[in-house]
Amino acid sequence: MKCPHCSTTIEARQPACHKCGFSLAAMQPFFGDQWVRLERLTDAAHCLRLADRHKAEMTLDDLERAFPQVFVAFYFGSLPPVLNPQEVAFWLINNGAFSTPQISKRNEYGVVCVVDPAAGTVGTAIGYALESLLAETAPTMILQAMVPALSHAEYGGAIEAAATSVSDLLRPLAIARPITQSLSPGPHAGSSAADYGLHPLRSGHRQTDSTPSPSRQRR
Ligand SMILES: [Zn+2]
């Protein structure tokens, strides 16, 4: 990965950049060291129109349906002047709890895009596991996809462009694995839903007949 501060190539999970010393700890004075709860779309800059937000939510739903392990999140806001959006994106991918039950696992497969509309800057960070699967140029490609829309202050368009870019990067990696073999019967084959406390709707509230069904008698 590239150091978010000086762009030197560094090892993933290296505690600090060997060239400039940048580390998560160096950002503590600005953000602390606590996890922060975030939605996929955080618009602290109030730059997204309602229609942009609705469309973006649908786009991100589609992306997560196509690639269930992956999520993409966006933060729009004014950043501290001494921090660049790459650094903030890096902090968020490490300290953001993105409304998912498996926070630490999912961040490994997350992409965070940070836009400071007032400063006209944008940055991105990719989770470690996902980064290891993608080309080194992936962050640049995502950012370049966003730039045309951002240059016209079309923030919804920038979200769409980023999501399309991430999908295009992931599609060659995705493997469709349809279930082609029938499920092999285990030791409990022949049991019924009632054996698991599940009662068929058609039997209403009556007790389920415990005599073996014809198919079970044949066995
Ligand atoms: Zn550095």
- Environment of ion ligand 1 (residues, CB < 5 A): 3, 5-6, 8, 17, 19-20, 22
Report whether pLDDT(180) > 70.
Answer: no
What's the gap in Å between 158 CA and the centre of ligand 1? Answer: 27
Q: What local confidence, expressed as pLDDT, does residue 219 receive?
A: 45
Identify which has the larger pLDDT, 219 or 9.
9
Cα–ligand 1 centroid distance for 142 (angstroms)? 21
pLDDT average, residue stretch 128-136: 92
Asked if the model's pLDDT at residue 27 lies above 60, the reply is: yes
Top mean-pLDDT range of 90-99, 120-129, 183-192: 120-129
Distance (angstroms) between ligand 1 centre and the Cα of 14 equals: 11
| 126 Cα: distance to centroid of ligand 1 (angstroms) | 17
Please give the distance, rounded to the nearest whole angstrom, from the Cα atom of residue 17 to the centre of ligand 1.
5
Report CA(55)–ligand 1 centroid distance (Å).
36
Mean pLDDT lowest among 55-64, 119-128, 152-161, 177-186: 177-186
- Each residue's pLDDT tens digit, 57-80: 999 999 998 988 899 999 999 998
Gap from CA of 198 to ligand 1 centroid (Å):
58
How many whole angstroms separate alpha carbon 36 and alpha carbon 107? 13
**H helix or E strand, kind and range, residue 115:** strand 110-116
Alpha carbon of 13 to ligand 1 centroid (Å): 13
How remote is the CA of residue 9 from the centroid of ligand 1, in Å?
8
pLDDT for 31 beyond 60:
yes
Domain positions in the chain are 25-171
Task: Report pLDDT for 134.
Answer: 93
3-state secondary structure of 219: coil
Q: Which CATH architecture has domain 25-171?
A: Roll (3.10)
pLDDT at 208: 47
Contacts of 111 (CB under 8 A, 6+ apart): 70, 71, 72, 73, 124, 125, 126, 127, 130, 142, 162, 166
Average pLDDT, the chain: 85
